[in-house]
Amino acid sequence: MLTYCVRKRLFLLSRETLKPSVSSVSPQQRRCESGGSMLELQHYISSGRAGRGSTYGPLGTELKRNVLQQWWAAVVSLKPEVFGISTPCSSIDGGTLRIVDGEALGEQLKDLSEAQLKERLHKLFQHNQSLRTSLLQGALEQFVPSLELIIRKLPFGLAETGLCYHPEPERSDTIGCFTEVTEASLVWFCSPRTSSQWLDYWARQRLQWWRKFALGPSDFSVCDVLSEELKEGASRGVKVLYQFPSGSETLETLWSFGDTKLLKTHHGSRAKLLCRDGRRSVVPHVLSVSANVDRGVLAFLFNSLQHVQKVDSKRRLYQRKVLKLHPTLAPVKVALDMGRGSTSELRQVCEGLLQEFLEAGISAWPGYLDTTYSSMESLHVKYDEMGVLFTVMITDSTLENGLLMVRNRNTTVKETMHISEIKQFLLKYISAAENI
């Protein structure tokens, strides 16, 4: 399962994100699966600083940015009734994960008696800042300030993406462990009589969204949450699942909360919560639609990795890995390489074309900077594993007649194209894929 990380540290590299399957893998197994040395694999999975969150390399970072960007476009930018908000990760009241300045505390506690110590600690857990575990509370608090904006008209939504801290089973040497997760949350306020339909609507919408970017859409599914597993205060729940090789995992959870959480947040003052539902005034019901973006990124990586059987020129069968990420999500759209020849001139052409791509918003990989010799085949193997959509090859003949070679990742077909056409070709290809 780790094989797609072959280009070292390009994608995501953290032990935590890969956890469902990695934590149960022995060093022996890891060596096997990576096909490399143990050293090399350590290199991928976890780096110097052991955090409890995901560390992303350059490609992983762009992939996650693209996923977040597509989420925001679908949920906020395209929906006039959804508004983005941004609330702090830490707050003074509520929550059990408290932040403490260790050095200052150590200094203060040194000379205290037992009773004083306990009192001091008790205070600490009353007043110190705490970290959020979900984005729901922030949206519930922003409900009243938003009412003016939406003229108290239902339905509407408040959306936010950001870090949350998920508590984890404790280890012996620490008090409270947690994992850092990027969540993307929509909190939807609607009339009580339509809340169930809205839950179905959003579950459908979200599943469609995940599948839109999938190579194998059937690995994404939804299921109802059993009544005994319902979250406190929820009357219904739906999950979007992904079928990882190691088992099914939840990517996104939708809860229907009724009005209790909203009332509680605003101390039961119904009057200021009233919204217009046609001609009636109601306290809205709350739906929470929240995705684990880090796990989502992992799902897209798994989903788009394809093993392709090939026979090489010497009739040996071998397997190639192609990361067929959706064109919109692929972190690198085009790689630029040059053949052998008059290096400095070819390089100039590459640099000009690279700048043209970057300015048009096409993320491009400057492969020509790597002056160590690689065969065409090994370049394609590398770029296929990176998920690069197209490889453009600049050769001596480009200098003569302006023609270059374009290879398509998905079809492996190579086309000859004039250098003046390549930018439009790429832009068209990407925007066509977006609109499917």
Q: Please give the residues from 98 up to 117 whose contact with a second copy meets the rule CB under 8 A.
A: 98-106, 108-109, 113-114, 117
Nearer to a second copy, 240 or 286 (CB): 286
> Measured from the CB of residue 216, what is the shortest distance to a second copy in angstroms?
26
> Measured from the CB of residue 42, what is the shortest distance to a second copy in angstroms?
11
> Measured from the CB of residue 371, what is the shortest distance to a second copy in angstroms?
8
With binding defined as CB under 8 A, does residue 378 bind a second copy?
Answer: no
With binding defined as CB under 8 A, does residue 274 bind a second copy?
Answer: no
Q: Which stretch binds a second copy (CB under 8 A): 118-126, 201-209, 317-325, 409-417?
A: 118-126
Site mask for a second copy (CB under 8 A), range 301-340, x = bound:
----------------------------------------
Q: Are 195 and 285 in contact (CB under 8 A)?
A: yes
With binding defined as CB under 8 A, does residue 167 bind a second copy?
Answer: yes
| Strands lying side by side in the sheet with 247-256 | 82-84, 156-168, 177-190, 285-292, 247-256, 236-244, 220-224
**Which of these, 300, 249, 254, lies nearest to 65 by C-alpha position?**
300
Judged on CB neighbours under 10 Å (0-12, 13-18, 19+), 124 is middle
With binding defined as CB under 8 A, does residue 436 bind a second copy?
Answer: no
Backbone φ and ψ for 278, nearest 5 degrees, come out as: 65, -120
The binder of a second copy chosen from 2, 5, 18, 85 (CB under 8 A): 85
Nearer to a second copy, 105 or 376 (CB): 105
The binder of a second copy chosen from 4, 165, 220, 242 (CB under 8 A): 165
| Residues 6+ positions from 331 with CB-CB distance below 8 Å | 58, 59, 60, 61, 62, 63, 66, 325, 363, 386, 387
Q: Are 386 and 7 in contact (CB under 8 A)?
A: yes
d(CA 268, CA 282): 14
> Measured from the CB of residue 377, what is the shortest distance to a second copy in angstroms?
20
The binder of a second copy chosen from 27, 35, 84, 247 (CB under 8 A): 84
| Residues 6+ positions from 412 with CB-CB distance below 8 Å | 380
> Measured from the CB of residue 349, what is the shortest distance to a second copy in angstroms?
15
> Measured from the CB of residue 400, what is the shortest distance to a second copy in angstroms?
26
The binder of a second copy chosen from 27, 37, 127, 280 (CB under 8 A): 127
| Residues 6+ positions from 151 with CB-CB distance below 8 Å | 276
Nearer to a second copy, 125 or 318 (CB): 125
Binding residues for a second copy restricted to 345-364, rule: CB under 8 A: 354, 358-359, 361, 363-364
Q: How many CB atoms are located within 10 Å of the residue 93 CB?
A: 8
> Measured from the CB of residue 123, what is the shortest distance to a second copy in angstroms?
6
With binding defined as CB under 8 A, does residue 180 bind a second copy?
Answer: yes
With binding defined as CB under 8 A, does residue 49 bind a second copy?
Answer: yes
Backbone φ and ψ for 20, nearest 5 degrees, come out as: -45, -40
Question: Which single residue is written with the structure tokens 């200098």?
Answer: 399
Q: Which residues pair with 309 in a beta bridge?
A: 319
Nearer to a second copy, 73 or 223 (CB): 73
Binding residues for a second copy restricted to 135-154, rule: CB under 8 A: 137-138, 141-142, 145-146, 148-149, 151, 153
Binding residues for a second copy restricted to 231-260, rule: CB under 8 A: none
Interface size with a second copy, residues (CB under 8 A): 102
Nearer to a second copy, 192 or 366 (CB): 366
Backbone φ and ψ for 410, nearest 5 degrees, come out as: -75, -40
Nearer to a second copy, 141 or 345 (CB): 141
Q: Which stretch binds a second copy (CB under 8 A): 173-181, 184-192, 203-211, 419-427?
A: 173-181
> Measured from the CB of residue 140, what is the shortest distance to a second copy in angstroms?
9
What angle do the packed helices 293-304 and 58-72 form, to 10 degrees? 110
| Residues 6+ positions from 352 with CB-CB distance below 8 Å | none
d(CA 34, CA 25): 12
With binding defined as CB under 8 A, does residue 13 bind a second copy?
Answer: yes
| Strands lying side by side in the sheet with 414-418 | 364-365, 334-338, 390-394, 403-408, 414-418
Helix (H) or strand (E) holding 432: helix 422-434
